[in-house]
Amino acid sequence: MLSWLFFPLCDESSFSVEYEHMFAPGPQKRPSPRSRELPVGLADRVRPATPVAGRLLPVPAPLVPLFPDGALRRGTTTTVAGLPGHGATTLALALLAAASQAGSWCAAVGLRDPGVVAAAELGIDLRRVVFVPHPGSGWAEAAGDLLPGVDVVLVRPPGRARQTAARHLSARARDRQTALVVLVDHASEWPQGGDLALSVGAIEWEGVGRGYGHLQGRRAEVRVSGRRSAGRAIECSLWLPTGSGVVATTRRGAAQGEDGSGVDPGDGPEAA
């Protein structure tokens, strides 16, 4: 028997109202511990509601061969590692280009100088990107708060991330079905590791002679590994970027244009 006693706050006379309810639960049938049948309707509730195609986010055509699905998969973590000046930032930002053009919302956290002009040249729709350039020590919290509201989050930790922060962000991205892209100088700075790891190695600048000329393109060697790389490492050569500011594949010393034809790295505006 349960009783509730009420006292009015604005009346000198006190009174009580007592409610009584007798519970007489009947015998309940317990499911057999050996039964493996799902309750009615549970299978439909746990079945993924998003089709496979809806779990993929497009990437620029030159980057398609780097991904097992030919696209960014929602809920996964992709690390991009490379020393400053080697094109890792260009490669990481390029992963937002096709997705933003397709209407997806993206966020970039911790890029102190995102270079919006260069980002636009990469093909990023700036109207669909949220920049948080100075999150300070709260970079992990900022990225975590953005994960539920966007499709892709690019985060640049200020240094080596703590194991707990890396694990939490990757788990939250998986739970929210958001693609997480982590930009670091060295792969070891993200102790959790990535489902896919892109690392930028040796680079070579085009357009500079012996004391003359202008920088027109940066050719970089990119290596792909990680848990989702099908157990094999992939290496390719990319322009990060060409003189026109786009990312392209190289072919016999020339980059690939968007139409698949070779373009000279010096095409487009001069790169100082």
- Do 131 and 108 form a contact (C-beta atoms < 8 A)? yes
- The dotted CATH code for 54-263 is 3.40.50.300
- According to the model, what pLDDT value does residue 205 have? 86
Instruction: List the chain domain ranges.
Output: 54-263
Buried b (16+ CB within 10 A) or exposed e, 54-85: ebbbbbbbbbeebbebebbbbbbbbbbbbeee
Which pLDDT does position 259 carry in this prediction?
37
Per-residue pLDDT of the chain (272 residues; tens, 9 = 90+): 444 444 444 444 444 333 333 334 455 555 444 444 445 553 344 333 444 457 899 999 999 999 999 999 999 999 999 999 999 999 999 999 999 999 999 999 999 988 889 999 999 999 999 999 999 999 999 999 999 999 999 999 999 999 999 999 999 999 999 999 999 999 999 998 889 999 999 999 887 666 566 677 899 999 999 887 656 678 999 999 998 899 999 864 333 333 333 444 444 333 32
Which pLDDT score is estimated for 129? 96
Residue 96 structure tokens: 């937002």
The pLDDT of residue 228 is 75
Tell me whether residue 20 is exposed, middle or buried, using C-beta atoms within 10 angstroms of its C-beta: 0 to 12, 13 to 18, 19 or more: exposed
For residues 170 and 192, the answer to whether their CB atoms sit within 8 Å is: yes
100 vs 164: CA distance, rounded Å: 30
Q: What is the reported pLDDT for 7?
A: 44
Say if residues 246 and 122 touch (Cβ distance below 8 Å): yes
Task: Tell me what pLDDT residue 231 has.
Answer: 63
Burial class (CB within 10 angstroms; exposed 0-12, middle 13-18, buried 19+) of 40: exposed
- Give the pLDDT confidence score for residue 3 in this predicted structure: 43
CA distance 125 to 268: 20
| pLDDT at res. 30 | 54
Please, what is the end-to-end C-alpha distance for the chain in angstroms? Answer: 83
